Chains A and B, each alone.
Chain A
Amino acid sequence: MSDHAVSLSATSSNPQAGVSGPSGPKPRHVFSRRNIFLYGTLIVVALYYLLPLYVMVVTSLKGMPEIRLGNIFSPPLEITFEPWVKAWSQACTGLNCDGLSRGFWNSVRITVPSVILSIAIASVNGYALANWRFKGADTFFVILIVGAFIPYQVMIYPIVIILREIGLYGSLTGLVIVHSIFGMPILTLLFRNYFTSMPEELFRAARVDGAGFWGIYLRIMLPMSLPIFVVAIILQVTGIWNDFLFGVVYTRPDTYPMTVQLNNIVNSVQGVKEYNVNMAATILTGLVPLVVYFISGKLFVRGIAAGAVKG
């Protein structure tokens, strides 16, 4: 009896004894096996991808004598921007010797209208497919999606003939049309899934309010779909800017996009291989998609998630 009383008072007067077990937040070990493995892998992979970029930047800042020493990983002893200037405005591609600048402006003139045209059409497509269930909508959608799986190579020659017949072969307009058409399946799918994920009652409310096809699209749907437009813009800008195949097939030397020009600079067989100019030209060409990613990375992820999860 007295023993019992003693033990009772002991526990109540000494709270330390009562909380001998785990309590509060679980302790975390910074150098646990799991963390070492995880971060180790991440660092190795990051190095693997960053090393070529490092070599490119370093090489583009060296003069040719320094490159001939052969230490591709060593930083430049003497920094020079000469190769960049040369790549932009003096490098020779075929007959022209005005560098990548011509290709850059060609690419801009191809990319901007293609992106605007393809997204404008695809977003209306997706909206119509998601909200106005017209007769044959499903069939139309299936055909469009199947289109996404047909290899480009199959269609190159027929399109050459079509463009020739309508007199657009070799012009920038022709290439813009080709890019817009080839962007259609994936973009329509993207927009359709996004608009399907929007509450249907919103659409119905707008109809009761008297808004029509374009009224609902422009005043209700568009303001709500910024994320998916950002995704579409990124996909199209990078896709069209990086395109080589269509560019080389459907344009002429004076309308070559930047990627084709880059290829012509890097693969030229005459004279000395100017590695520093090649590196600078490559970085210049890749700069536009890179900048787009850096600016809109966050929005991109959000838009992809919104479209994918609920679609």
Chain B
Amino acid sequence: MAANGTSVSIQDLSLNFGAVSVLQTLNLDVAEGEFIVLLGPSGCGKSTLLNCIAGLLDISEGRIFIKGKNVTWEEPKDRGIGMVFQSYALYPQMTVEKNLSFGLRVAGIAKDEIAKRIARAAEILQIEPLLQRKPAALSGGQRQRVAIGRALVRDVDVFLFDEPLSNLDAKLRSELRVEIKLLHRKLQNTMIYVTHDQIEAMTLADRIAVMKGGVIQQLDAPQTIYNRPVNRFVAGFLGSPAMNFVEGQLEAGTTAVFKTGDLTIPLDRYGFDGAGTKSGPCVFGIRPEHVAFGEAANSMPFATDAAVEIVEPMGSDTLVWTKLGGRNFSFRVEAEKTLRNGDPIRIGFDPARASLFDTPSGNRM
């Protein structure tokens, strides 16, 4: 049984379409009031998992508990969930009010209760002036608000979001992102949110589940996932600009070192996972913002000389590309720094902030 305080519990869930395995013995426990983001590239099974939780897809194996109740064979309406879809999925022939009330009318709830719930949802989402309009007369942001409202009026325990912001333009997306976060703080509901946008994942989530190939790679707080990714896939998927990877050899000993080309990076400050370290091929990864430059580089445990290859000004800061151990290597500098192509520079970093991955398995060391 699900433990107390667990809102959604997925146990050994598998889903196969014929011979194709989409989800493989997946386990996930979501705490009461938690905001979980399922993050991954297209085709990783994150939307499929959400549809399984919603009951829109029949699973092949395993069990799903919501609020301690086994809902594995329940219809979507009996699971205590509300769902928001990427394409809004508003009923085009109904007004906003009728859209909101449709589920309640189907359930045969009393009229005054329906009116009360719609009024509350409309107030929370600030869509009161739109209630008598048809969806076609709404903007994208308004439509998505109505779609959220439709989940809201159902008075459910768990909200499911299936890439709700992907159809909006960048500005609206960031606005609604904040609104969803505020909504979660106000309602304190459990929310499961599917996205491929790492910014949404980082900003919204209490915990992120990074998925690939139907398997959860890492489930942790955003900062942990960002700073201590469990494998090379997670490290590369999160972060923009992406983490730098340099391939080389790990040489264990009294003080372990990482060697690539003629570079030797001391790893005495690096916190290895597990007890032993053994020599072998590995990948050294460090995020562009963890690289120091110029004077600051010399105070770092490791520093080396390099030359500027390309400068990419991004407004708030500038991304500089150079070479380290023969590989492309990027780092961030303040936007005010003026660097030209070919300028000799000194860069350095603290290996404690780096990530080491075993080359054959891709796992963190």
Contact = CB atoms under 8 A, between A and B. Distances in A.
Nearest to B81: A208
B106 A224 contact: no
Contact of A207 (B77, B86, B87, B154): B77
B226 interface: no
B208 interface: no
B91 interface: yes
Nearest to B82: A208
Interface residues of A, number: 16
A201 B85 contact: yes
B89 A199 contact: yes
Contacts, number: 57
Contacts of B106: 209-211, 215
Interface in B44-86: 51, 54, 56, 75-77, 81-83, 85-86
A53 interface: no
Nearest to B101: A209
Contacts of B293: none
Contact of B102 (A201, A204, A209): A209
Interface in B331-347: none
A205 B85 contact: yes
A223 B99 CA distance: 14
Contacts of A219: 102
**Majority DSSP secondary structure for residues of A touching B:** helix
Contacts of B145: none
Contacts of A205: 83, 85, 89-91, 150
A224 B94 CA distance: 10
Contacts of A211: 102-103, 106
A209 B92 contact: no
Nearest to B88: A201
Contacts of B83: 204-205, 208
B91 A199 contact: no
B4 interface: no
Given A210-B107, A211-B106, A204 B85 contact: yes
Interface size class of B (residues with CB under 8 A): 20 to 34
Nearest to A211: B106
B89 A210 contact: no
Interface string B202-213: 000000000000
A209 B56 CA distance: 12
A205 B154 CA distance: 12
Contact of A209 (B51, B77, B86, B87): B77
A256 B268 CA distance: 100
A210 B79 CA distance: 10
A207 B93 contact: no
A202 B91 CA distance: 7
Given A208-B54, A211-B106, A215-B106, A201 B89 contact: yes
Given A210-B77, A220-B91, A224-B92, A204 B103 contact: no
A204 B50 CA distance: 12
A207 B75 CA distance: 8
Interface string A220-234: 100110000000000
Interface string A226-249: 000000000000000000000000
Given A201-B85, A201-B86, A215-B106, A207 B91 contact: no
A224 B93 contact: yes
A179 B106 CA distance: 36
Nearest to B78: A210
Contacts of A220: 91
Nearest to B156: A208
A208 B76 contact: yes
Nearest to B93: A223
A204 B56 contact: yes
Nearest to A216: B106
A235 to B, nearest CB: 24
A205 B102 CA distance: 10
Contacts of A224: 92-93
Contact of A208 (B88, B90, B92, B103): B103
Contacts of A199: 87, 89
Contacts of A210: 75-77, 103, 106-107
Contacts of A223: 93
Interface in A177-211: 199, 201-202, 204-211
Given A205-B90, A211-B106, 18 more contacts: A201-B86, A201-B87, A202-B89, A204-B51, A204-B56, A204-B85, A205-B85, A205-B89, A205-B91, A207-B56, A208-B83, A209-B77, A209-B102, A210-B76, A210-B103, A210-B106, A215-B106, A224-B92
Closest 6 CB pairs of A and B: A210-B77, A209-B103, A201-B89, A205-B89, A223-B93, A201-B85
20 contacts: A199-B89, A201-B88, A201-B89, A202-B91, A204-B51, A204-B85, A206-B102, A207-B75, A208-B81, A208-B83, A209-B77, A209-B106, A210-B75, A210-B77, A210-B106, A211-B103, A219-B102, A220-B91, A224-B92, A224-B93
Interface of B: 51, 54, 56, 75-77, 81-83, 85-93, 102-103, 106-107, 150, 154, 162
